[in-house]
Protein backbone atom coordinates (compact mmCIF):
# COMPACT_ATOMS: atom_id res chain seq x y z
CA UNK A 1 0.00 0.00 0.00
CA UNK A 2 0.99 3.62 -0.58
CA UNK A 3 0.10 6.68 1.44
CA UNK A 4 -0.10 9.88 -0.64
CA UNK A 5 -0.44 13.30 0.98
CA UNK A 6 -1.11 16.73 -0.49
CA UNK A 7 -0.42 19.37 2.15
CA UNK A 8 -1.12 23.07 1.80
CA UNK A 9 -0.83 25.71 4.50
CA UNK A 10 -4.45 25.20 5.53
CA UNK A 11 -5.15 21.46 5.23
CA UNK A 12 -3.62 18.14 4.29
CA UNK A 13 -5.44 15.46 2.28
CA UNK A 14 -4.17 11.89 2.73
CA UNK A 15 -5.21 8.82 0.77
CA UNK A 16 -4.27 5.21 1.36
CA UNK A 17 -3.95 3.43 -1.97
CA UNK A 18 -3.84 -0.29 -2.76
CA UNK A 19 -3.63 -1.62 -6.33
CA UNK A 20 -4.59 1.80 -7.69
CA UNK A 21 -7.75 2.02 -5.58
CA UNK A 22 -8.27 4.52 -2.75
CA UNK A 23 -8.91 2.57 0.45
CA UNK A 24 -9.17 5.44 2.91
CA UNK A 25 -9.16 9.25 2.97
CA UNK A 26 -7.86 11.27 5.93
CA UNK A 27 -7.89 15.02 6.56
CA UNK A 28 -5.54 16.87 8.90
CA UNK A 29 -4.34 20.43 9.33
CA UNK A 30 -1.78 21.80 6.90
CA UNK A 31 1.79 20.71 7.67
CA UNK A 32 3.85 23.56 6.27
CA UNK A 33 7.28 23.27 7.96
CA UNK A 34 7.58 27.05 8.11
CA UNK A 35 4.61 27.17 10.48
CA UNK A 36 5.29 24.01 12.53
CA UNK A 37 8.01 22.58 14.72
CA UNK A 38 9.25 19.05 14.20
CA UNK A 39 7.50 18.15 17.46
CA UNK A 40 4.11 19.44 16.34
CA UNK A 41 4.47 17.63 13.01
CA UNK A 42 5.34 14.40 14.79
CA UNK A 43 2.29 14.78 17.04
CA UNK A 44 -0.07 15.04 14.05
CA UNK A 45 1.51 12.00 12.38
CA UNK A 46 1.44 9.90 15.54
CA UNK A 47 -2.04 10.89 16.71
CA UNK A 48 -3.95 11.15 13.43
CA UNK A 49 -2.15 9.17 10.70
CA UNK A 50 -0.48 6.21 12.41
CA UNK A 51 -3.72 4.84 13.93
CA UNK A 52 -5.44 5.05 10.53
CA UNK A 53 -3.00 2.90 8.54
CA UNK A 54 -1.83 -0.70 8.58
CA UNK A 55 1.87 -0.01 9.01
CA UNK A 56 2.83 -3.64 8.36
CA UNK A 57 1.57 -3.38 4.78
CA UNK A 58 2.61 0.21 4.10
CA UNK A 59 5.32 0.22 1.42
CA UNK A 60 5.84 3.94 0.83
CA UNK A 61 4.71 7.44 1.72
CA UNK A 62 4.63 10.23 -0.89
CA UNK A 63 4.27 13.62 0.83
CA UNK A 64 3.81 16.76 -1.26
CA UNK A 65 3.86 19.89 0.87
CA UNK A 66 3.76 23.67 0.79
CA UNK A 67 7.09 24.98 2.04
CA UNK A 68 9.01 21.85 1.00
CA UNK A 69 11.13 23.57 -1.62
CA UNK A 70 14.59 23.42 -0.05
CA UNK A 71 16.73 21.08 2.02
CA UNK A 72 16.07 22.46 5.51
CA UNK A 73 12.24 22.36 5.51
CA UNK A 74 12.26 19.00 3.70
CA UNK A 75 14.52 17.56 6.40
CA UNK A 76 12.11 18.76 9.11
CA UNK A 77 9.29 16.82 7.47
CA UNK A 78 11.45 13.77 6.82
CA UNK A 79 12.65 13.58 10.42
CA UNK A 80 9.07 13.74 11.68
CA UNK A 81 8.15 10.82 9.41
CA UNK A 82 11.20 8.82 10.52
CA UNK A 83 10.12 9.07 14.14
CA UNK A 84 6.63 7.74 13.42
CA UNK A 85 7.28 5.50 10.37
CA UNK A 86 10.94 4.42 10.80
CA UNK A 87 10.78 1.46 8.39
CA UNK A 88 8.73 3.02 5.59
CA UNK A 89 10.25 4.63 2.49
CA UNK A 90 9.30 8.32 2.49
CA UNK A 91 9.42 10.77 -0.42
CA UNK A 92 8.99 14.47 0.45
CA UNK A 93 8.41 16.85 -2.45
CA UNK A 94 7.11 20.37 -2.97
CA UNK A 95 3.38 20.86 -3.47
CA UNK A 96 4.21 22.56 -6.77
CA UNK A 97 5.43 19.20 -8.09
CA UNK A 98 2.14 17.66 -6.93
CA UNK A 99 0.30 20.32 -8.92
CA UNK A 100 2.44 19.69 -12.01
CA UNK A 101 2.01 15.91 -11.85
CA UNK A 102 -1.73 16.23 -11.25
CA UNK A 103 -2.25 18.78 -14.03
CA UNK A 104 0.15 17.52 -16.69
CA UNK A 105 0.63 13.85 -15.84
CA UNK A 106 3.73 12.72 -17.68
CA UNK A 107 3.59 15.42 -20.35
CA UNK A 108 5.39 18.80 -20.27
CA UNK A 109 3.46 21.97 -19.47
CA UNK A 110 2.91 25.05 -17.30
CA UNK A 111 1.41 24.33 -13.90
CA UNK A 112 0.17 26.84 -11.35
CA UNK A 113 -1.25 26.79 -7.85
CA UNK A 114 -4.00 29.29 -7.03
CA UNK A 115 -5.23 28.43 -3.55
CA UNK A 116 -4.28 29.86 -0.16
CA UNK A 117 -0.95 30.67 -1.84
CA UNK A 118 0.26 30.85 -5.43
CA UNK A 119 3.15 29.43 -7.43
CA UNK A 120 4.01 28.43 -11.01
CA UNK A 121 6.48 26.15 -12.76
CA UNK A 122 7.37 24.65 -16.12
CA UNK A 123 7.40 20.86 -15.90
CA UNK A 124 9.05 18.36 -18.25
CA UNK A 125 6.73 15.42 -17.57
CA UNK A 126 8.58 14.15 -14.52
CA UNK A 127 10.28 17.03 -12.74
CA UNK A 128 10.19 20.82 -12.47
CA UNK A 129 12.62 22.54 -14.85
CA UNK A 130 11.87 26.19 -14.04
CA UNK A 131 9.80 27.88 -11.38
CA UNK A 132 8.86 31.27 -10.03
CA UNK A 133 10.63 32.10 -6.80
CA UNK A 134 8.11 31.68 -3.97
CA UNK A 135 8.00 34.80 -1.76
CA UNK A 136 5.13 33.84 0.55
CA UNK A 137 2.01 35.74 1.48
CA UNK A 138 3.76 38.95 2.56
CA UNK A 139 5.93 39.54 -0.52
CA UNK A 140 4.27 37.34 -3.14
CA UNK A 141 1.41 34.83 -3.64
CA UNK A 142 -0.18 37.11 -6.25
CA UNK A 143 -3.72 36.06 -7.16
CA UNK A 144 -4.07 33.69 -4.21
CA UNK A 145 -6.65 33.61 -1.45
CA UNK A 146 -4.29 35.26 1.04
CA UNK A 147 -3.36 37.92 -1.53
CA UNK A 148 -6.99 38.83 -2.23
CA UNK A 149 -7.84 38.74 1.46
CA UNK A 150 -4.92 41.03 2.24
CA UNK A 151 -5.94 43.48 -0.48
CA UNK A 152 -9.54 43.53 0.74
CA UNK A 153 -8.70 43.96 4.44
CA UNK A 154 -6.29 46.77 3.59
CA UNK A 155 -8.96 48.54 1.53
CA UNK A 156 -11.51 48.00 4.31
CA UNK A 157 -9.27 49.47 7.02
CA UNK A 158 -8.43 52.44 4.76
CA UNK A 159 -12.14 53.07 4.08
CA UNK A 160 -11.52 52.47 0.37
CA UNK A 161 -14.35 50.00 -0.19
CA UNK A 162 -17.83 51.03 -1.34
CA UNK A 163 -20.20 51.92 1.50
CA UNK A 164 -22.48 48.94 0.77
CA UNK A 165 -19.48 46.58 1.03
CA UNK A 166 -18.25 48.19 4.25
CA UNK A 167 -21.65 47.91 5.94
CA UNK A 168 -22.24 44.35 4.72
CA UNK A 169 -18.81 43.13 5.85
CA UNK A 170 -19.03 44.86 9.23
CA UNK A 171 -22.41 43.25 9.89
CA UNK A 172 -21.37 39.78 8.70
CA UNK A 173 -18.03 39.56 10.54
CA UNK A 174 -18.23 42.09 13.39
CA UNK A 175 -14.45 42.42 13.54
CA UNK A 176 -12.83 45.33 15.31
CA UNK A 177 -9.62 46.91 14.04
CA UNK A 178 -7.90 45.33 17.05
CA UNK A 179 -9.22 41.87 16.07
CA UNK A 180 -7.73 42.26 12.60
CA UNK A 181 -4.39 43.61 13.84
CA UNK A 182 -4.04 40.79 16.37
CA UNK A 183 -4.87 38.14 13.76
CA UNK A 184 -2.33 39.52 11.31
CA UNK A 185 0.51 40.53 13.62
CA UNK A 186 0.18 38.48 16.82
CA UNK A 187 -1.77 35.28 16.24
CA UNK A 188 -0.41 32.16 14.48
CA UNK A 189 -1.08 31.54 10.77
CA UNK A 190 -1.85 35.09 9.55
CA UNK A 191 -1.87 33.76 5.96
CA UNK A 192 -4.83 31.52 6.82
CA UNK A 193 -6.64 34.43 8.45
CA UNK A 194 -6.25 36.57 5.33
CA UNK A 195 -7.13 33.69 3.00
CA UNK A 196 -10.30 33.00 4.99
CA UNK A 197 -11.88 36.09 3.41
CA UNK A 198 -11.45 34.69 -0.10
CA UNK A 199 -14.66 32.66 0.21
CA UNK A 200 -16.55 35.85 1.10
CA UNK A 201 -15.00 37.71 -1.83
CA UNK A 202 -15.94 34.91 -4.24
CA UNK A 203 -19.43 34.60 -2.78
CA UNK A 204 -20.05 38.26 -3.59
CA UNK A 205 -18.18 38.54 -6.89
CA UNK A 206 -21.36 39.83 -8.52
CA UNK A 207 -20.58 43.09 -6.68
CA UNK A 208 -18.30 45.17 -8.97
CA UNK A 209 -15.77 45.93 -6.22
CA UNK A 210 -15.16 42.22 -5.50
CA UNK A 211 -15.19 41.28 -9.19
CA UNK A 212 -12.53 43.88 -9.92
CA UNK A 213 -10.52 42.76 -6.89
CA UNK A 214 -10.38 39.20 -8.25
CA UNK A 215 -9.53 40.40 -11.78
CA UNK A 216 -6.80 42.67 -10.43
CA UNK A 217 -5.35 39.79 -8.39
CA UNK A 218 -5.32 37.54 -11.46
CA UNK A 219 -3.66 40.27 -13.51
CA UNK A 220 -0.89 40.47 -10.89
CA UNK A 221 -0.63 36.67 -10.95
CA UNK A 222 -0.25 36.62 -14.74
CA UNK A 223 2.38 39.35 -14.70
CA UNK A 224 4.45 37.96 -11.83
CA UNK A 225 4.03 34.24 -12.51
CA UNK A 226 3.02 33.42 -16.08
CA UNK A 227 4.58 36.04 -18.32
CA UNK A 228 8.00 35.17 -16.88
CA UNK A 229 7.85 31.95 -18.92
CA UNK A 230 8.48 32.07 -22.67
CA UNK A 231 6.36 28.90 -22.84
CA UNK A 232 3.26 30.94 -21.96
CA UNK A 233 3.22 32.19 -25.56
CA UNK A 234 2.62 28.69 -26.90
CA UNK A 235 1.36 26.58 -23.96
CA UNK A 236 -1.87 27.00 -21.99
CA UNK A 237 -1.65 27.54 -18.24
CA UNK A 238 -2.99 24.71 -16.10
CA UNK A 239 -4.22 25.62 -12.65
CA UNK A 240 -4.98 23.81 -9.42
CA UNK A 241 -6.64 25.24 -6.31
CA UNK A 242 -9.97 26.62 -5.17
CA UNK A 243 -9.27 30.23 -6.17
CA UNK A 244 -8.60 29.30 -9.78
CA UNK A 245 -11.28 26.60 -9.91
CA UNK A 246 -14.10 28.78 -8.56
CA UNK A 247 -13.18 31.76 -10.73
CA UNK A 248 -12.20 30.17 -14.04
CA UNK A 249 -14.26 32.63 -16.08
CA UNK A 250 -12.50 35.62 -14.49
CA UNK A 251 -9.10 33.95 -14.89
CA UNK A 252 -9.84 33.45 -18.60
CA UNK A 253 -10.95 37.09 -18.90
CA UNK A 254 -7.71 38.30 -17.29
CA UNK A 255 -5.58 35.91 -19.37
CA UNK A 256 -7.20 36.98 -22.65
CA UNK A 257 -5.65 40.43 -22.18
CA UNK A 258 -2.23 38.79 -22.72
CA UNK A 259 -3.38 36.26 -25.36
CA UNK A 260 -2.83 33.46 -22.83
CA UNK A 261 -5.05 30.39 -22.91
CA UNK A 262 -6.29 28.57 -19.82
CA UNK A 263 -6.10 24.78 -19.99
CA UNK A 264 -7.02 22.28 -17.28
CA UNK A 265 -8.33 23.80 -14.04
CA UNK A 266 -9.03 21.51 -11.07
CA UNK A 267 -9.69 22.07 -7.40
CA UNK A 268 -7.85 19.12 -5.85
CA UNK A 269 -4.85 17.10 -7.12
CA UNK A 270 -5.39 13.81 -5.34
CA UNK A 271 -7.33 11.79 -7.92
CA UNK A 272 -4.74 12.60 -10.58
CA UNK A 273 -1.82 12.01 -8.19
CA UNK A 274 -3.12 8.51 -7.52
CA UNK A 275 -3.05 7.87 -11.28
CA UNK A 276 0.49 9.23 -11.51
CA UNK A 277 1.72 6.87 -8.79
CA UNK A 278 0.22 3.71 -10.31
CB atoms within 10 A of CB 23: 14
Rounded Cα distance between 58 and 60, Å, is 6
**Apex 145 CA angle, 139 and 146, nearest 5:** 40
Rounded Cα distance between 226 and 277, Å, is 28
Over residues 176-189, mean pLDDT = 91
pLDDT digits 0-9 by tens, 65-114:
988 888 899 999 999 999 999 999 999 998 899 999 999 999 999 999 99
Question: 14-21 contacts: CB < 8 A, separation 24 or more?
Answer: 14/49, 14/52, 15/270, 15/274, 16/52, 16/53, 17/274, 17/277, 20/274, 20/275, 20/278
Domain ranges of the chain: 2-100+271-276
CATH superfamily, with its number, for domain 2-100+271-276:
ATPase, nucleotide binding domain (3.30.420.40)
pLDDT digits 0-9 by tens, 225-267:
999 999 999 999 999 999 999 999 999 999 999 999 999 999 9
Amino acid sequence: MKLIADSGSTKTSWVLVKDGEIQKTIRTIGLNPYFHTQESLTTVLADEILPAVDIQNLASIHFYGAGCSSETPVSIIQEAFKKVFPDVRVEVKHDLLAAARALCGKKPGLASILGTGANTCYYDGQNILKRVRALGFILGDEGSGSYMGKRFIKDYLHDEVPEEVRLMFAQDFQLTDADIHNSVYKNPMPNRFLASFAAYIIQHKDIPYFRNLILSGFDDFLQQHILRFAESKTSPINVIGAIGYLNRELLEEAAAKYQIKVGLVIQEPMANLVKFHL
